[in-house]
Chain A
Amino acid sequence: MNAILKTSPPRPGAEAVAAKGWLAAHKWLILRRCSQLGILLLFLVGPWFSLWIVKGNLNFSYTLSFLPLADPYVILQSLAARQVPEKLALIGAAIVLLFYLLVGGRAYCSWVCPVNLLTDFAYWLRVRLGIKGSAHISRPTRYWMLGMTLVAAAVSGSIAWEMLNPVSMLHRGLLFGLGLAWAVLLAVFLFDLFVMRHGWCGHLCPVGAFYSLVGKLSVLRVRLPARAACNDCMDCFAVCPEPQVIRPALKAIAGTPPMILEANCTNCGRCIDVCSKDVFAFGTRFNATVAPVTGVPQAAPK
C-alpha cells in the first residue's frame, strides 16, 4: 500500500498530513463518517436490538417519542400532490428546515445521507483505479430533477419520486427490508464509478438540490480567514465534491468575501482538512464585514 503511494504522485492532502499530522488532516472526514454511521446506527438499533431510540426513517422519524423530524422535501412533494399533512409532520419538517438553515443545507448530504457513503466510496475507488473520463451533464441538472419530481408529484397525484429515490431506497431498505432496492443503489454506484465523476450527488440528486436551496441562506459557512496564504496546491479542489464552489471565495472573484457562499458547498470540511496552510475554517456567515480585516493580518506576514 505504502509502496504504491510512494511511487504514484502525492495524493491530495499529503502536504497537510506532513504539516499537521494524519489525524488533524482527517479530522472533519472522521467526524463526518462518525456522524453518517452514527445516525444510521441510531436508526438500526431499533430493528436490530429492539432499542427504539429512533423510530421511522429519514422521511419522518420520532426520537425518544419526543422529537419529530420530517424531511421537508418529501413534505413539499406531498403538498405538490395536493395533500396537507397533519401537524406532527409539519412540525418535524419545520425543525429540520431550521436545523439546516443553521448548519448549512447540504450538510444533510455530507453528514447524514447514507448514499453519500456509497458515492464517496465510488469516487475513492474511481481515483484508486485511475478511471479517467467522465460523461458531461451540467451541475444545474439537479435543479431540473428537483422541478421534475415536483411536477411528477403534482401530475401523478402521488409522491412519485419515492418510487426511485436512492436515498430513501437505501435508508428505508436497511431498516425495513431492501428488496430489489439494491439494484437502484448498484446503478448509482456504477454510474459514479465508471460513467461520471461525482455523478449522482454532484449533478443529479434532487434531494441534494433541495437542500442546496436551504443552503443559500444558511448560517454555518466555510470561511477562508487565511486565503492570502493559499499556495495554489489545488488540494482543496481535488478533494471537494463541488469544487466550483471554492474558486469565487478563494480567488476573491467579483469581490466575493472570504467565505464560501455557494449553495452547493456541503460543509463537509474536507477542504479544511487537506489545506496545509490552514486557509479554511468553519465560521458563520455573519461578521462578513469583519472578514477582510481578518484577511489583512494574514496577508501581512507573507
Chain B
Amino acid sequence: MSESLDPSYIGEGIYKENILDHYKHPHNQGQMKNADIKFTENNPLCGDVITVELKLSRNKIDDIKFMGRGCAISQSAMSMLSDELMGKTMQEAKSVTREKIVEMLGIEIGPVRTKCAT
C-alpha cells in the first residue's frame, strides 16, 4: 500500500480559518416569514439536514436564510453559498456548480466528504 490512502484527505488541514469562521459565525442563518421558496435537503451519510428559504423579488434572490445542523464543512459551505447567491437571479443561482462551491471553500476534500459541501 502507498504511504497515504488519499492525498487530498488531509485531516485537520481542511479546517482552515475561513471555514471555522463561517462555521462559528454563519452568515444568513435563521428563518424568515413568508418565504417564496423553501426546501430541505439531507445527507443520508451523516444525518445532516439543511432547510433553505428564499425570498424573491422580480426573479432575484432578495433574501436567503438557512437552518439546520451539520458538520463544519456543510455549514460553512452553506454560509458562503448564501453570500454568493444573494442578489442573483434564479438562472444565475442554478449555474453554481459543485466545483464552484469547492473552490469557494478553498480546500481540497476527499470524495467521501464532497457530499457535505454540495
The answer on A and B forming one complex is no
Residues of chain A at the chain B interface (Cβ within 8 Å)? none
